[in-house]
Structure 1
């Protein structure tokens, strides 16, 4: 009787380094050691980002890794059950033409037939699971889009995991299933159990290690091409297995031990081989369809993005380094005004009223108040740094007031769209790089002002809010420099942990900190909050609305690369915000015991933001309907 591991006790097992190498280098095991990390690493990287435009940047990662590991574990358990059932059924196999006797000859024949039956079952299990895996990956654009249509019902907590049930989780379960079957010894592999265990450990270690390498080193790029490339790769490996079985009777290179398994090539067997390639053909067809016709996989705007009965016109869209960025016009006016917005994932990073040029978010004007702060020596040429561009409201206003503004923006598409669609004037310098890297290497005592606004997708990047990051910002500011930092938060006791922690960390880096909300209404609302921080007491001069520029001033501004009507045109909203924001301070007095000190070594800001991110997600869904968010 064969053991559960597949080792035949009636044959003397061997144990050697050569035998171990032979086990590892079989076609099945070798191909899966290469295939699995490529596909699993791609899934772990791409699957969450495919959901980011629907659920935001925080929810897509919440418990995703844990559920992914659980899915692979389920696949392993299912493979073990399958192997046990297969082993049990193989013992009932009786060779054709032999009687049920107990002679040694018949016993050997029975064991041989049982081994062949089990080998065939393992082979079939691997091939079928690879085919299913390829089809699940290739069809993921349709299945996930179908789930997106129910995102309002699912909500931001359940939605990502329910959607991954049709994509990432079954793929990882199938990979776990396939690799477990590959570890089972075949009837012709007579090795010592120690050799088999060594083989399994090496295979598992190689797959886990290479998966981590692929996940960490995979460059950012279009999700679509990576998804259907992975599907084609899986289907091709399955096709290779089928071809080898047809030629040699087993998934193996020519081997004298397998000569007896070869079968005559008949018209029927050739037809069966051709039919077995149907999954590969389907995967190729779906890849071509996605590459040429799927609106989600096109780099620009297609007719499908702007249906005739739609309420929005998408002007531009691009899958960039941070995800999908798009610009859209709303066709139905709000309060007699049309709006143009820039979308990044499941958030709006800015927008304007088309008729007036005002920002649709009044809080974006508050950072401009750095120019109103007293107790500063203003030189002939003030220099500011903007970390996170948005559509360029704050930096544009400072530029039009004669401030030389350096802008750090991680996404080149955001900068391009801000200039093309939102009249963002040309800055002093534009740096396309990560903000944290920039402030680490920027020169000391350079900037009069630093505008820090990096909120997107329901949260902020924690690395830019740590004490070390704020100390770097302080280092590159002049001694009388001012930091204006925008975040989105709530003073509600159950949701204020992120706000209080950022506040505490700012107080640890700067001697003086004040904060204002964008609205005096509901104090518990999830809203923009702007902090001003400096090494001296912060007081503001009264705001005086700028006069409308003369024709001569317009020409000067245009010569400098600016747009005269971008920031200096009369703006009731801007005037109201800058005249009133001091009346809306945080209602909760500062208490150093409230909140955590955010440090690089133990940065938990992401987990603190989750409750607030849920409010943001629902706020976005109230501003724009579901159809808007799933059309990206």
Structure 2
């Protein structure tokens, strides 16, 4: 999804995977080869950088928030994981998991069939993968999944640069909890402006459903210096926050972790978003996401 932050190699990069709620008008889609990094390609939609894939090395993760996803997943036991992705794009995270945890059965909910066909044609998936793409949006796709069928659910879904309101409500999180196994993990890539008031209400919903939370973001976002991406982790069982902090300390750009106790102090009074009272995420600074 659109990401306000740095890549490993260029501060101007913006990225993420695509929108699981089909946009009202057809976006202009491009796959641009990275001349500085053989095998690399950027998915761009309406001049907004959405996903980066290295077809030769799927473990190469260009955007900060995707690196945070990988850091959280590294705290889980080794071996295959059953993962559902809400939002597809260029399938960055699905490819990464296929490479790092071969044999992982994965479902990707991506309603934009034209985007999926382009990505499959230009950036083919590896042989023997277990990635299945379903042309469904997030709410409908999750509601169709079986109980306790996923180890991990990953939310990385944007419409016109904003997280759809239907994907951050108490009711939606309750359905995600149904799909997850008892010790399952929910991961979300969200965005907010300084003050993190929108995120506070998302955290309230996650706390009501799961109970155990952690937040990862760049230091400048955590200090309220800019609009940016925040990765949330939620589970009904304790998260290994100490190991997560060790993983994040290895990232190329300064980032921090906030545990559940710290989040409760800062955001404990917030009310959850609900289906009757919900909102998309704050509007991004679109000029900051244009290709330079």
Q: Same fold (TM over 0.5)?
A: yes
| 1:392 corresponds to 2:62 | no
Q: Is the 8 A contact 1:351 1:361 kept in 2?
A: yes
Counterpart in 1 of 2:169? 466
| Coordinate RMSD, CA, aligned | 3.3
Q: TM-score w.r.t. structure 2 length?
A: 0.75
Q: Distance in 1 between matches of 2:284 and 2:33?
A: 25
Shift of 1:507: 1.1
Q: Deviations over 1:274-328 (max 9, x none)?
A: xxxxxxxxxxxxxxxxxxxxxxxxxxxxxxxxxxxxxxxxxxxxxx953214124
Q: Distance in 2 between matches of 1:448 and 1:498?
A: 27
* 1:589 aligned residue (235, 259, 263): 263
Q: Is the 8 A contact 1:349 1:456 kept in 2?
A: no
Q: Distance in 2 between matches of 1:462 and 1:589?
A: 22
1:585 is paired with a residue whose SS is strand
Q: Distance in 2 between matches of 1:505 and 1:346?
A: 33
Q: Distance in 2 between matches of 1:433 and 1:422?
A: 21
Q: Distance in 1 between matches of 2:220 and 2:125?
A: 31
Counterpart in 1 of 2:41? 340
Q: Is the 8 A contact 2:32 2:44 kept in 1?
A: no
Shift of 1:418: 2.8
Counterpart in 1 of 2:287? 618
Shift of 1:592: 4.4
Shift of 1:341: 1.9
Counterpart in 2 of 1:405? 106
Q: Distance in 1 between matches of 2:132 and 2:56?
A: 29
Q: Is the 8 A contact 1:372 1:541 kept in 2?
A: no
Counting only pairs closer than 5 Å after superposition, residues 211-230 of structure 1 correspond to structure 2 as: none
Q: 1:589 to 1:534 in 2, by over 3 A?
A: closer
Higher relative contact order (CA 8 A, sep 6+): 2
Q: 1:577 to 1:353 in 2, by over 3 A?
A: farther
Q: Distance in 1 between matches of 2:55 and 2:132?
A: 27
Q: Distance in 2 between matches of 1:501 and 1:431?
A: 29
Q: Distance in 2 between matches of 1:451 and 1:337?
A: 27
Query: Which structure would you say has the larger Rg?
Result: 1
Q: Of Structure 1 and Structure 2, which has the larger fraction of its residues in strand?
A: 2
Q: Is the 8 A contact 1:449 1:477 kept in 2?
A: yes
**Count of aligned residue pairs for this structure pair:** 258
* 1:507 aligned residue (176, 196, 207): 207
Q: Distance in 2 between matches of 1:578 and 1:399?
A: 24
Q: 1:593 to 1:383 in 2, by over 3 A?
A: closer
Counterpart in 2 of 1:351? 52
Q: Of Structure 1 and Structure 2, which has the larger fraction of its residues in helix?
A: 1
1:601 is paired with a residue whose SS is coil
Shift of 1:423: 4.3
